[in-house]
Amino acid sequence: MKKLMLGNEAIARGAYEAGVKVVSAYPGTPSTEVSECIARYDEVYAEWAPNEKVAFEVAIGASFVGARSMVCMKHVGVNVAADPMFTAAYTGVNGGLVILAADDPGMHSSQNEQDTRFYARSAHIPMLEPSDSAEAKEFTKLAFELSEKYDTPVFVRTTTRLAHSQSLVETAERREVPLRPYVKDVSKYTMMPSSAIGRHVAVEAREDKLAADVNFFDVNREEMNDPSLGIVCSGVVYQYVKEALPEASVFKLGVVYPLPFGRLRDFASKVERLVVVEELEPFFQNQLKANGIDCEGKNLFSKQGEISVADIRLKLLGEKLDVEKQDLPVRPPVMCAGCPHRGVFYILNKLKVTVSADIGCYTLGAQPPLCAVDTVVCMGASVGIAHGFEKAAGREQSKRTVAVIGDSTFIHSGITGLINAVYNKSNITLVILDNSTTGMTGHQQHPATGLTLKQEPAKILDIVALCKTVGCDSVRVVDSYDLAEVEKTLKEELAADGVSVIVAKRPCALLDRNYPAPCTVSDCRKCGMCFKLGCPAIEKQADGSAKINASLCVGCGLCEKVCKFGAIKEG
């Protein structure tokens, strides 16, 4: 029976049917649901790891000992996992090892727009890219087979539109795959120069063989039609091309690395004009050109953002659409009503400090009216950046610099920055915004929540004890809703020498939805203070007075605390 499935759900289903035994991951949009879906299968061990590097190493271990294993991450997670990944290409596998990497063209929920296909090339790891959910399932199964056949990890690459689109999938039964025997083999599994030299030879030989074999893979498909225009494409872009140019001839790449140059050369010889339609970098185009196959591509399509059907019709058929210019108020994402981060950013803004922030819902503290964030780079970077500020600009700078990071992000890679700060005699102030969950990706568990991915009870990492243990000079806990306490503690810790950690604790407002009654306003003096909170439930009336939208307000009472006239009352 066919069933509508998200691309991510289909990947999970494919791994399940392929007999995967171990899946490890760190949440990251648009890859998160793969792990959440696979966790529902009792036959599969699935976990959240603290970061992608650890997740990758878990998958390597499971593969070495003979199981089919998978590791899932978003594109920037591949950067974190790159160290074990490059060397796993050398060791190869025992049980099949699949890497799910999700790119985000258009940056719907990411801090950069990197093209993960380059990792396939530089690490010499083959990469498949499905174009809908049915292929997502089948390609994942194929990836396990190729992994074992060619003794290499294999990438399955998705993009946001594949990961978060639903289309019909025919499911099949799971095939149990017994553990392959583990045999000690230093020349394969112990990567030191003497053995790695030999493995590098094996990597090159494998890649040469695969590069020849991909010409015969039926997931690389030629669809000859009108020979006046030939398109080379992959992934969801294939669907855009088929919709925009139903008459064109198409070469659909299922394997996006290594490329089937023999068949591409043949295709090129049969069409009058060859155009590569690919999102992000000219990955295919440059390789085609380097192999003497002339083509167009990035002369027509941008390296930024997503490609659309309309874009393809405009560039290749000259069809223009009649659209109106509009000047409407934008609606950027905001911290939710009752968000525990809001009060902390309100105080940071009030204190006029420099804030190095991190990746999570609290990145939204950069937006008006809070405007309390100076820097955001990558997971965990806030701590090192604050330390760098002090080492370069001195103690006066660190007296007005605050690093902020979420609980999950702190565990992911903030802790190492903190150890560095302590070790190197820093004077930074770090606020850990502990909302007891991984918020932005949709409430995933982590080592300090007390539950696993499979919702089983787990030991709880004590963040306060951890900070004390690594040698922080001061570790204090405040209630994120207690603005006076947050302000007082921040001022004291900024003035104090040494490394200070303030754990601002309050669960995400979306976790337990037993809210108190909404706040109310009476006799508003129109001073506008409450609007500085940027709460979506506080609306400015035409006369400048405040009104609480009772359908959005969760009664957190933050607005009561900032109102100098006592006009707002908690519900």
Partner 1 sequence: MKANILIVGVGGQGTLLASRILGALADLEGSDCKLSEVHGMSQRGGSVVTNVKIADEVKSPIIGLRDADIIMAFEKLEALRYTNYLKKGGVIVVNDQEILPMPVITGARKYPEHIVEDLRERAGKVIVVPALAIAEEIGNLKTVNVVMIGALAKNLGIPFEKIDAALKAAVKPKLYEVNRTALQRGYDIG
Residues near partner 1 (CB under 8 A) are 4, 6, 29-30, 32-33, 108-109, 132, 160-161, 164-168, 236, 239-240, 242-243, 308-310, 321-324, 326, 328-336, 361, 364, 367-369, 440-442, 528, 531, 534-536, 538-540, 544, 549, 551-552
Instruction: Kindly state the smallest distance separating residue 256's Cβ from partner 1, in Å.
Output: 19
The smaller minimum CB distance to partner 1, of residues 139 and 389, is found at 139
Helix (H, G, I), strand (E, B) or coil at 128: strand
User: What CA–CA distance (Å, rounded) separates 217 from 210?
Assistant: 10
Instruction: Kindly state the smallest distance separating residue 321's Cβ from partner 1, in Å.
Output: 5
User: What CA–CA distance (Å, rounded) separates 351 from 371?
Assistant: 12
User: What CA–CA distance (Å, rounded) separates 409 from 8?
Assistant: 23
The smaller minimum CB distance to partner 1, of residues 278 and 493, is found at 278
Instruction: Kindly state the smallest distance separating residue 8's Cβ from partner 1, in Å.
Output: 9
- Phi, then psi, of 548 in degrees rounded to 5: -95, 125
DSSP assigned state of 380: T
Token pair belonging to 469: 């243990």
The smaller minimum CB distance to partner 1, of residues 458 and 558, is found at 558
Instruction: Kindly state the smallest distance separating residue 25's Cβ from partner 1, in Å.
Output: 15
The smaller minimum CB distance to partner 1, of residues 379 and 428, is found at 379
The smaller minimum CB distance to partner 1, of residues 79 and 441, is found at 441
Instruction: Kindly state the smallest distance separating residue 526's Cβ from partner 1, in Å.
Output: 11
The smaller minimum CB distance to partner 1, of residues 310 and 464, is found at 310
Instruction: Kindly state the smallest distance separating residue 401's Cβ from partner 1, in Å.
Output: 26
The smaller minimum CB distance to partner 1, of residues 262 and 528, is found at 528
Instruction: Kindly state the smallest distance separating residue 96's Cβ from partner 1, in Å.
Output: 28
The smaller minimum CB distance to partner 1, of residues 282 and 534, is found at 534
Instruction: Kindly state the smallest distance separating residue 536's Cβ from partner 1, in Å.
Output: 5
The smaller minimum CB distance to partner 1, of residues 65 and 334, is found at 334
Where b means 16+ CB within 10 Å and e means fewer, 328-359 reads eeeeeebbbbbbbbbbbbbbbbeeebbbbbbb
In 419-508, at which residue ranges do the beta strands (DSSP E only) sit? 429-434, 474-479, 500-505
User: What CA–CA distance (Å, rounded) separates 548 from 527?
Assistant: 15
Instruction: Kindly state the smallest distance separating residue 241's Cβ from partner 1, in Å.
Output: 9
Burial of 424 (0-12, 13-18, 19+ CB in 10 A): exposed
* Bridge pairing between strands 474-479 and 354-356: unpaired
* Strands of the 474-479 sheet, one edge to the other: 354-356, 401-406, 429-434, 500-505, 474-479
For residue 161, count other CB atoms closer than 10 A to its CB.
21
The smaller minimum CB distance to partner 1, of residues 104 and 148, is found at 104
Query: Which has the closest alpha carbon to 68: 41, 87, 28, 50?
Result: 41
Name the residue with tokens 């499935």. 5
The smaller minimum CB distance to partner 1, of residues 425 and 540, is found at 540
3-state secondary structure 21-77: CEEEECCCCCCHHHHHHHCCCCCCEEEECCCHHHHHHHHHHHHHCCCCEEEEEEHHH
Q: Helices 309-317 and 235-244: crossing angle, nearest 10°? A: 60
Residue partners of 261: CB distance under 8 A and separation at least 6:
211, 215, 291, 293
In DSSP terms, 429 is beta-bridged to 402, 500
Query: Is the distance from CB of 95 to CB of 68 less than 8 angstroms?
Result: yes
Instruction: Kindly state the smallest distance separating residue 290's Cβ from partner 1, in Å.
Output: 30
The smaller minimum CB distance to partner 1, of residues 403 and 530, is found at 530
What is the sign, positive or negative, of the torsion defined by CA atoms of 175, 159, 87, 26? negative
Helix (H, G, I), strand (E, B) or coil at 425: coil
Instruction: Kindly state the smallest distance separating residue 50's Cβ from partner 1, in Å.
Output: 20
The smaller minimum CB distance to partner 1, of residues 68 and 157, is found at 157
Instruction: Kindly state the smallest distance separating residue 308's Cβ from partner 1, in Å.
Output: 5
Name the residue with tokens 């210019």. 325
Instruction: Kindly state the smallest distance separating residue 539's Cβ from partner 1, in Å.
Output: 5
Token pair belonging to 302: 């941008």
